[in-house]
Amino acid sequence: MYGILDKYIGKNLLLYVLVIAICLTLLIGLITFIDKTRYIGRGTIDFLFLCEYILLLLPGFFVSFFPLSVLLGGVIGLGMMARNSEIVIMQSTGLSRVNIAISALKSIVPAVILVMAVGEYVVPPLETFATERLTEESNENRITVSKSGIWLREGNSFIGIQSSLSDGSLQNIVRYDFEGNVLKTESRAQSGFYNKGQWEMHNIVRRQYSEFGVETSHLPTEQWKLHLNPERVEIIGSTSNILTIKGLIDYISYLEDNGQVAQKYRLELYNKLIAPLTTVVMLMLALSTVFGPLRSINMGARILSGITLGFGYYVLNQIFAPSSLVYNIPPLFGASISTVIFGILAIVLLRRKS
């Protein structure tokens, strides 16, 4: 049941969560815009294009910073209720800490589900489109990213790359060489590896077209010089931060079937799956400022405490998550350890009395 008190608590909580989320989204958007101004003048990128690019990224920023917004919004919203003695009045009517916490969860859980849906179905296509546009405009349309892969133009040649693996190698490459508007050669390579400024292509099937017909040849290896290095391939073909949960599962299977390490993508998958639990932990930390040892301090100190807790979680997550990849720790541990630690901290603070 969703009663009157549930609605009142939820209204106060969600209002501040939404305001904080919007403020953080716009702030990160502004910082990103300033950072991307270095692209102005590169290719056909101008001020208006960057504005459009940042607008496409804003939903992703909103989803990323929603857990922190729940913490800060909860600290402010519930703190205002505590300062006005509304929490005390609710407790005097028979509501326990658990009842108030459940009322807050009743409003946050639907918001979490909505944000997850946005992150799963809205953010990936928007960020994919934004990345493709940035790549194409910065390279004056010489590089195109599509669902079929990456396409490059090298003089009178067009090169298509179906996919890239985590070690920087290329898979299923096709090259079309033209003389004017006439196709002269079609080359298909099974794989490619970067070596000393050139790409070493393997298992190549070449077809040469002439007025006398088609001549087919097979080459074990061949050097191709492309204006592309593994770092650019990683940027252009970056998938982990814009794939859906289903897409990550499929991509992990694809990498493992090709004998590649998929730990990085498993970590990203677990981060996405644990995000709802992280949001609940952030709400528990916010509740600890009302019922725990922080309830006697003023609002400014509470907000500072909330910012400190949020920053502490961010720093801890940035340490443990990448470390799990470096030290071969299971990605599930790296993705969840920060949430577990702060969940325990929230329980300890909630059980303590001022």
Could you report the per-residue pLDDT of 312-341, keeping only the tens digit for each?
898 888 888 888 888 888 999 999 999 999
| Cβ atoms of 187 and 167 closer than 8 Å | no
| Cβ atoms of 151 and 135 closer than 8 Å | no
| Cβ atoms of 313 and 72 closer than 8 Å | no
Count the helix, strand and coil residues of the chain and give each as a percent rounded to the nearest 5. 60, 20, 20
| Cβ atoms of 177 and 209 closer than 8 Å | no
- The pLDDT of residue 55 is 96
Angstrom distance (rounded) from CA 270 to CA 339: 12
Angstrom distance (rounded) from CA 251 to CA 26: 32
| Cβ atoms of 175 and 228 closer than 8 Å | no
N-terminal to C-terminal alpha carbon distance within the chain: 32
For tokens 């669902």, the residue is 147
| Cβ atoms of 274 and 339 closer than 8 Å | yes
DSSP state of 121: I
Question: Hey, how many other C-beta atoms are within 10 angstroms of the C-beta on 31?
Answer: 11
What pTM value is reported for the model? Answer: 0.77
- pLDDT tens digit string along 281-291? 999 988 888 77
Q: Which helix (H) or strand (E) holds 215?
A: strand 213-224
Low-confidence residues of the chain: pLDDT under 70: 1, 139-149, 166-167, 229, 231-242, 258, 292-297, 353-354
- The pLDDT of residue 70 is 94
Angstrom distance (rounded) from CA 171 to CA 161: 7
- The pLDDT of residue 143 is 62
